[in-house]
Copies of this chain bind each other. A is one copy, B any other.
Amino acid sequence: MAANTSNYKLSAAIANLKYNDLIPYPNASDKTTREFLQKVVDILMDYIQKQNDRNEKILDFHHPEEMIKVLDLKIPLEGVSLNQLIHDCATTLKHQVKTGHPHFFNQLSSGLDLVSMAGEWLTATANTNMFTYEIAPVFILMETVVMTHMREIIGRCWRKGDSILAPGGSISNLYAFLAARHKMFPNYKEKGIATIQGQLVMYTSDQSHYSVKSCASICGLGTDNCVMVPSDERGRMIPAELERLIVDRKNKGHIPFFVACTSGTTVLGAFDPLNDIADICKKHGMWMHVDAAWGGGLLLSKKYRHPRLSGIERADSVTWNPHKLMGALLQCSTIHFKEDGLLMSCNQMSADYLFMQDKLYDIRYDTGDKVIQCGRHNDIFKLWLQWRAKGDDGFEQLMDRLMELTEYMVKRIKEQPNKFHLIMEPEMVNVSFWYVPKRLRNEPHGPSREKKLGELCPRLKAKMMEEGTLMTGYQPDDRRPNFFRNIISSAAVTEADIDFLLAEMDRLGQDM
């Protein structure tokens, strides 16, 4: 550990100084402060360079009980020196997983967009809260501009709607649920369940993100009243099943009110048929929400938007996470509503002691009363700056490029049918497949071989992590045992990296 973290040392004059020798403390000097911060920046810049060096490992794996011994994590009674803090920063990054490494294919969010990162550094330094124009004037206006732009991309009739940034797609989906319930049962806010005769019921596909089901638990419906609609073999909600299940509950006297579609499922990257579902929602007077946390990025691509997201403009609300496919830094999630005013009337608690009406400026810009968070992290600047850098064109190119790389990967997998078994043609950058070790290459594909291929996944993944050369994810689903799900969402990835990925799996797994 000492070897490559000891490169970072403060000058002898300040090495043993402490936090209260930094600004804003009375003994502080600007010079000490700058040297300390510059040393942190040096560590970060070297980390970025190393992360993009394909000869470097992604991680240096230790089990938790070993890692606790390797690191000095304890909180001391007396604070450590500035030099120790520098050492702490270097050591932390040394043991952290390099999620921006070109061979990290493990997560929906990967890569490190440096413009977005610069934005996040500035956000930290500005250190403000997003509740009012009073203390975040520039950021509040940026939020207005970017949210309007995103709504226009969803659909022309969305321009006059409303949007908010939320801490992740799960909370965005919760906002949609709350707005839907409020729109349809405006007394629910004050009276709660007592206002309604009959059980509220919501619907989503069996492939949807678990946060949708979680809404039913949080909000008092109970998960039994979040009906999981069967999906087809490609992971798309089956509209006829949705309608059957709506009628089924209606016949029991229940009140179906909310359908959460998914555009880009977590595992298979599937897109629910939005137009068909919109017809059903219209017929039954239900709210249509689209969880496009993952797939939303493709709205930026003329080539890939249709047919995947066709019909999204007919929805009532849309979740879209720029921190996923678009590569904004974590976290950056947005929720959009076609109707303006709902966020406010649904969530306002009339906290006049915080959100005064008698201010110097036009308080329509204040957002504090529209959200369930009160204080909100500034998640807009990093996205705004990134979008300024890329423009709409640059984002479109990025989307198209990620999809092209996916097509390349599929092609390479098909070229090696003895080593890899493609599960289906992907609709998005999720590629689902099994790796086939030598001993199973001659066995005909069927349930028996699938079981063995599934058993291999955790073992091969463990090997990848121990070697530190590659990370890609695996999981089971309702139809099959464990299989690999590879994600290409980082601008760092090239065709050569895909070739490496497949070759490395083969190197590590062929004799397993």
Interface membership of A93, Cβ < 8 A: yes
Task: Determine which of B178, B194, B209, B390 lies in contact with A19 in the assembled complex, contact meaning CB atoms within 8 Å.
Answer: B390
Q: Does A391 contact B (CB under 8 A)?
A: yes
Give every chain B residue within 8 A of A373 (Cβ-Cβ): 167-168, 170-171, 211
Contact A127 B137 (CB under 8 A): no
Interface size band for A: 35 or more
A12 close to B (CB within 8 Å): no
In the docked arrangement, what's the CA distance between A145 and B74, Å?
7
Least Cβ distance of A322 to chain B in Å? Answer: 12
Whether the Cβ atoms of A19 and B394 lie closer than 8 Å is: yes
Given known A40-B122, A85-B115, A219-B220, contact A79–B193 (CB-CB < 8 A): no
Point out the residues of chain B lying under 8 angstroms from A417, CB to CB: none
Provided the pairs A24-B52, A49-B30, A388-B76 are in contact, do residues A141 and B68 lie with their beta carbons within 8 angstroms?
Answer: yes
A295 at the interface (CB under 8 A from B): no
| Docked CA distance A466–B191 (Å) | 43
- Whether A112 pairs with B19 at a CB distance below 8 angstroms is no
Tell yes or no: A351 within 8 A of B by CB: yes
Residues of B within 8 A of A24 (CB): 52, 100, 102, 111-112, 490-492
Instruction: Specify which of B122, B209, B329 is in contact with A89 (CB 8 Å cutoff).
Output: B122
A372 touches B124 (CB 8 A): no
A168 and B18: CB pair below 8 A?
Answer: no
* Nearest B residue to A104, CB-CB: B135
Most chain B beta-carbon neighbours within 10 Å: one of A48, A127, A171: A127
Question: Quick check: B73 and A141 within 8 Å, CB to CB?
Answer: yes
Set of chain B residues within 8 Å of A141, measured between Cβ atoms: 64, 67-68, 71, 73
Say whether A114 faces chain B, with CB atoms less than 8 Å apart: yes
Given A25-B491, A75-B149, A374:B222 Cβ within 8 A: no
Which of A243-251, A418-426, A457-465 has 4 or more CB atoms under 8 Å from chain B? Answer: A457-465
Query: Which one of A376-384, A444-452, A500-508 is at the B interface?
Result: A376-384
A187 CB to closest chain B CB, in angstroms? 8
How many angstroms between the C-alpha atoms of A168 and B375 in the bound complex? 6
* Given A222-B195, A351-B210, CB of A390 within 8 Å of CB of B79: yes
Q: Which residues of chain A in 173-200 are interfacial with respect to chain B, using CB atoms and an 8 Å cutoff?
A: 174, 178, 188-195, 199
Q: Does A315 contact B (CB under 8 A)?
A: no
Taken together, the copies of this chain in the complex come to: 2
The residue in chain B whose Cβ has the minimal distance to the Cβ of A188 is: B222
Residue from B124, B127, B218 within 8 A of A124 (CB atoms): B124
Hey, what's the 0/1 contact readout for A384-396 against B, CB within 8 Å counting as 1?
A: 1111111111100
Complex interface residues of chain A between 217 and 273 (CB less than 8 A to chain B): 217-225, 266-267
- Shortest A395–chain B CB gap in Å is 9
Asked if A352 and B220 sit within 8 Å, CB to CB, the answer is no
Chain B proximity mask over A341-365: 1 for CB below 8 Å, otherwise 0? 0000001011111101011111001
How many angstroms between the C-alpha atoms of A221 and B188 in the bound complex?
A: 8
Closest to A19 in B: B389
Q: Would B169 and A374 count as touching, CB distance under 8 A?
A: yes
Contacts of A359 in B (CB 8 A): 458, 461-462
Q: 5 shortest A-B CB distances, which residue pairs?
A: A192-B222, A220-B220, A24-B492, A167-B167, A120-B124
Can you give 11 A-B contacts (C-beta < 8 A)? Answer: A34-B45, A40-B118, A67-B141, A79-B390, A79-B394, A89-B119, A93-B122, A99-B126, A99-B128, A219-B220, A352-B475
